[in-house]
Amino acid sequence: MVTSDALAQGVAATPLQATSAVKRVNPPAVTKASNTPMTSSQPTWQDLTPAQQVSLRPLAAHWSSLDSARKRKWIALAANYSALAPPEQAKLHSRMTEWASLSPKQRDQARLNFAQSKQISATQKAATWEAYQALSPEEKQKMAKSAPPKPAGAATAAKPVAPDKLTKIPLRKPTTRQASEVPAISQSVNRNTLLPQTKPLPQPKPTQ
């Protein structure tokens, strides 16, 4: 027969065994924080040359948040910064400042608008040309003046000169000497053969 002490020991041991089994089945998950530092895309601001840092100064605060492709595009756009005139340099920096002030969503929309503007269909081009043809001569001349100047050395199409602006060559009347020589020349030409006529040789006088 099983004594009461044995039953008490068995009942007391059962909760301990169940607890240890639960601990073995479900071990506590240990999460470790990643110590890997966040690296910026290349090139970093420190990798740029002093001249590049000057040309890209409005983007200095946002440079680390740009991806490599966007960085390369800005570097290419500012490659000739030192050769630009001061007004052009200020204009380029103004564009950078405006772009840096946009939110990520606004930047994506600006890129989308730029891509769409490059994909103009032939129908849209034809409509633009028809609209230009409908302009008055004064409006066309105004647009031509506001257009950017052509690069030096470009060939230009020759414009026809008005007849009233052509140089007139004065007609000269033949002189008296020239008028007298014309009949002589016309008489020395055979009208049938258009060959010069030879004068007959003088006949020798008969000897007595």
13-22 pLDDT, tens digit per residue, is: 454 454 444 4
Two tokens, residue 27: 């071990």
CA atoms within 13 A on the CB side of 121: 3
Instruction: List, for residues 124-145, the tens digit of each pLDDT value.
Output: 777 777 787 888 888 878 878 7
Confidence (pLDDT) at 83: 93
| Burial group, residue 36, by CB count within 10 angstroms (0-12, 13-18, 19+) | exposed
* pTM of full prediction above 0.75: no
CB 55 within 8 A of CB 77: no
Question: How far apart are the C-alpha atoms of 185 and 183, rounded to whole Å?
Answer: 5
Q: One digit per residue, pLDDT tens: the chain, 208 residues?
A: 445 554 445 544 454 454 444 445 455 554 444 444 455 688 999 999 999 999 999 999 999 988 899 899 999 999 999 999 999 999 999 999 998 888 888 888 887 877 776 676 667 777 777 787 888 888 878 878 776 665 555 555 566 666 666 666 666 665 666 555 555 444 566 666 666 666 666 666 666 5
Confidence (pLDDT) at 141: 81
CB 93 within 8 A of CB 82: no
